[in-house]
Amino acid sequence: MSRKTQALAALCAGLMIAATGCGGSGDSGGDDKTITWWHNSNNDPGKGYYEQVAKDFEKANPGIDVKVQAFAHEDMLTKLDAAFQSGDVPDVYMERGGGELADHVEAGLTRDLSEDSKDIIDQIGGSAAGWQVDGKTYALPFSMGVVGFWYNTELFEKAGITAPPTTMQELYAAFDKLDKAGITPVSLGAGDGWPAAHYWYYTALRACSQDVLESAVADLDFSDPCFVQAGETVDEIVAKEPFNKGFLSTPSQTGPTSASGLLATGKVAMELAGHWEPGVMQGITEDKQGLGEKTGWFPFPAVDGGAGDPTAQLGGGDAWAVSEAAPDKAVDLVNYLLSDEVQKGFAENDMGLPTIPAAGSSVKDPALADLLKVRDESPFVQLYFDTAFGESIGGAMNDEIALQFAGKATPEDVVTATQEAADKEK
Amino acid sequence: MSSEATTGAVASERPHRPHDGWRKWAEIAFFVTPALALMALFVAWPIITAARFSLYDWKGLGPLDDFVGFENYAEVLADDVFRDAVAHNMIIVVGSIIVQLPLGVAIALLLNRKMAGQGVLRTLIFVPYVLAEVIAGVIWFQLLQPEYGLVDALMNGIGLSPPEQGWLGTPEVALWVVLAVLTWKYLGLAVLLFLAGLQGVSEELYEAAQLDGASWWQTQWRISIPLLGPTIRTWCFLSMIGSIQCFDMIWVLTGGGPADATTTMATYLIDEGTNRHNYGIAGAASVVLFAIAFVMALVYQLVVLRRDTKEAAV
């Protein structure tokens, strides 16, 4: 017995040593010839495409060795968190922008790309704003989407809705028509928090002017009455009761009874979601088609009486960043990743929505092409507020908005809770 | 220890004595060190680290240099979500014992009788406990889906109306539903322990009672249950500790929602630490959780379990 325990203990000790040994493997090796690159395109064609991209880069830059590591998305986030804490960050990695990036910049982990990637930043234009801190650009967005309503064209037709709603009044009229036709209008995964918060973000985007929003992000000031006004519009939407039964505990994307699942299986007519929605729906349905031909998309409607631009969009994306300790060649790799050529391939392989204008026409999916058009025509794309403010403020904000959807918080409570969380950061 | 006898035999050889003591210590050290090292690394060190984090404002990046004293504790203790979480934990502690104790004793007494299908029944009661918690959680999550889940479908079928927002989506009922699932999951352990306890009751006592003309009820009430006391007290202790740390089932079923109706101290920790990177707050909350669990365990040991441990020691 004791010998067994002994052996077990020895084994555990061995594993521990092995584990600590592994901890250092994210190291860039410290030499100028090796570039480590982490990404989350874990499935083909994306995975194979990025391997090819790395090979092409190696060919064009003799002597350089690109070490590509593909992770499942959640795994990558966990690994990155650990990497940031240890200060041992991969040379090229993904940034979601906003408060999280600002923290990394403050800790001196992320390299300023303003000068070295100037051409590309100019091409990307306003979309790069989410990855800028104090006027400097620290990461290059390679995929950027906007949030809008994904809908089932067949169910809309059945309910007699001829054109997608463009104002809140038309949206409410659509709810009524769907209700009369016996169709649940909207699915909402409020169990995850952020899907409910996206409604508030959009109503805030419609209620507040760009200046107010910019200063809210920069100075963490939510005193403008437009933020309360945003919550009032949310109350108005919730009062129409358009959501699926049990939306407070519905998950956003997992399984057929999640918000995406309900839309994909024709149980509801629409859902407010990002550009990822077709991919998520395809993953949920058995035939891997999602809604297929019946997929439609329209932007969040205009709200009467708001100071915000009715064509401004809420969105976010992923950007390539270079760690402070990386070799200079890593910057070349990132610039290559944002070249017309790689962005076109990226779009052709359905890996996301390219940010370089020249690659826009390579997006084949008609609904995504609609979305891309709206994105490019919008005066600015507001980064998801929770990302923009960082996890701490964003988390508190999303929680309070979820409470509002449950009827347990007022529009004022949301602003107060957000301001309180923000004051702790100052 | 038998060592006294053996050392007695070699006691005449004086120089060996300190050597023997040293050998004994070396032996103990040899066997205990690995376990102790693991304990220090995976139990003691994390506790110390959490306590250290709790005194700083730290987002998980860079050096630990923003010392804030007990500010995080003040914030945690003033946070309504955390207070509710503690209340939810206490409801689970009390609710588990109030429901599972009588139910567990009753089932154990029934299953202790000789009857057909005894083995099958015992297995059925015990299966949920063996099932991995997350798997059990996912199964119940699916069963409890609003509108499309089996529970709602069955209720609709017999003309009852389930809550509009679903069992897990209605803030007023979610915690009770979670408690019901926890009861289903952990009843098996109570029954198993009580059954084992009943095996320890001497057959002679039953025979004597039978000779005196005691009914089955009297036998259970006057003999079985009192003699089950130590087992019940130990089980209560285990149940209490489990309830205070309750996490997995809640995380899978509700994630602490809806509207924070089912948060526990453990879900609060994950939310503040892992999700929001407020490691100082999470550290303070974990120290509070540790303190509450520690004090409860200590008081229980001193007040309730003292009798049992004393008896065992004699």
Does residue B287 have a pLDDT over 50?
yes
User: Is the residue at B60 inside a domain?
Assistant: no
Regarding whether B104 and B44 lie in a shared domain, the answer is: no
**C-alpha pair distances (Å), B230 with each of B221, B224, B272, B298, B312:** 16, 12, 39, 17, 10
Q: Which residues of A touch B149 (CB under 8 A)?
A: 257
Cβ of A392 and B278 within 8 Å? yes
CATH (one of 3.60.20.40, 3.40.190.10, 3.40.50.300, 3.40.50.150) for A33-144+316-377? 3.40.190.10
Report d(CA A192, CA B255) in Å as an integer.
8
User: Is the residue at B102 inside a domain?
Assistant: yes
Residue B276, min C-alpha distance to chain A (Å): 5
Q: Which residues of B touch A244 (CB under 8 A)?
A: 146-147
Locate A302 and state its tokens. Answer: 């205009």
Report d(CA B33, CA B35) in Å as an integer.
5
Handedness of CA A421, A423, A424, A425 (dihedral sign): positive
Q: Which residues of B touch A406 (CB under 8 A)?
A: 171, 258-259
Model confidence, pTM: 0.83
Listed residue (B144, B226, B245) closest to B186, CA to CA: B245
Regarding whether B85 and B49 lie in a shared domain, the answer is: no
User: Is the residue at B166 inside a domain?
Assistant: yes
Regarding whether B33 and B173 lie in a shared domain, the answer is: no
Q: Report how many domains make up chain B.
A: 2
Per the CB < 8 A criterion, the answer to whether A49 and A41 are in contact is yes
Locate A352 and state its tokens. Answer: 């996301």
The phi and psi torsions of A214 (rounded to 5 degrees) equal -65, -40
pLDDT for res B11: 45
Listed residue (A329, A352, A345) closest to A53, CA to CA: A345
Mutate to test the interface with A, among B81, B145, B155 (most CBs of A within 10 A): B145
Report d(CA A167, CA B58) in Å as an integer.
44
Per-residue pLDDT 10s for chain A (426 aa) are 344 444 444 444 443 333 333 333 344 445 778 999 999 888 778 889 999 999 999 999 998 999 999 988 888 988 998 898 887 899 999 999 998 899 899 888 999 999 999 999 998 888 888 899 988 999 999 999 999 999 999 999 999 999 999 999 999 999 999 999 999 999 999 988 899 999 999 999 999 999 999 888 888 899 999 999 999 999 999 999 999 998 998 988 888 889 999 999 999 999 999 988 888 888 888 888 888 889 999 999 999 888 999 999 999 999 999 999 899 999 999 999 999 999 999 998 888 899 998 888 888 888 888 888 889 888 888 999 999 998 889 999 999 999 999 999 999 999 999 999 999 877
Does residue B4 have a pLDDT over 80?
no
Regarding whether B160 and B29 lie in a shared domain, the answer is: no
Listed residue (A22, A34, A41, A36) closest to A86, CA to CA: A22
Number of A–B residue contacts, CB under 8 Å: 100
Cβ of A107 and B61 within 8 Å? yes
Residue with tokens 């990497």: A83
How do residues A181-212 score in pLDDT, each as one tens digit?
Answer: 999 999 999 988 899 999 999 999 999 999 99
Residue B117, min C-alpha distance to chain A (Å): 36
Locate B35 and state its tokens. Answer: 């376990």
- For residue B133, what is the domain's CATH number? 1.10.3720.10
User: Is the residue at B62 inside a domain?
Assistant: no
Report d(CA A352, CA A379) in Å as an integer.
21
Residue A391, min C-alpha distance to chain B (Å): 5
Mutate to test the interface with B, among A20, A249, A252 (most CBs of B within 10 A): A249
What does the H/E/C string look like for chain A? CHHHHHHHHHHHHHHHHHHHHHHHHHCCCCCCCEEEEEECCCCCCHHHHHHHHHHHHHHHCCCCEEEEEECCHHHHHHHHHHHHHHCCCCCEEEECCHHHHHHHHHCCCECCCCCCCHHHHHHHHHHHHHHEECCEECEEEEEEEECEEEEEHHHHHHCCCCCCCCEHHHHHHHHHHHHHCCCEEECCCHHHCHHHHHHHHHHHHHHCCHHHHHHHHHHCCCCCCHHHHHHHHHHHHHHCCCECCCCCCCCCCCCCCCHHHHHHCCCEEEEEECCCHHHHHHHHCCCCCCCHHHEEEECCCECCCCCCCCCCEEEEEEEEEEECCCCCHHHHHHHHHCCHHHHHHHHHCCCCCCCCHHHHHHCCCHHHHHHHHHHHHCCCEEECHHHHHCHHHHHHHHHHHHHHHCCCCCHHHHHHHHHHHHHHHC
Per the CB < 8 A criterion, the answer to whether A85 and A104 are in contact is no
Regarding whether B200 and B76 lie in a shared domain, the answer is: yes
Residue A232, min C-alpha distance to chain B (Å): 19
Regarding whether B276 and B217 lie in a shared domain, the answer is: yes
Per the CB < 8 A criterion, the answer to whether B184 and B130 are in contact is no
ipTM for the complex shown: 0.78
Ranges in chain A annotated CATH 3.40.190.10: 33-144+316-377, 148-314+384-425
User: Is the residue at B36 inside a domain?
Assistant: yes
Closest Cα in chain A to B172:
A406
Regarding whether B77 and B152 lie in a shared domain, the answer is: yes
Domain extent, residue B257, equals 71-313
B222 vs A: CB within 8 A: no
Regarding whether B172 and B199 lie in a shared domain, the answer is: yes
Regarding whether B77 and B207 lie in a shared domain, the answer is: yes
User: Is the residue at B123 inside a domain?
Assistant: yes
Locate B252 and state its tokens. Answer: 């899978």
Regarding whether B134 and B40 lie in a shared domain, the answer is: no
Q: Which residues of B touch A258 (CB under 8 A)?
A: none
Regarding whether B285 and B169 lie in a shared domain, the answer is: yes
CATH number given to A148-314+384-425: 3.40.190.10
Regarding whether B211 and B288 lie in a shared domain, the answer is: yes
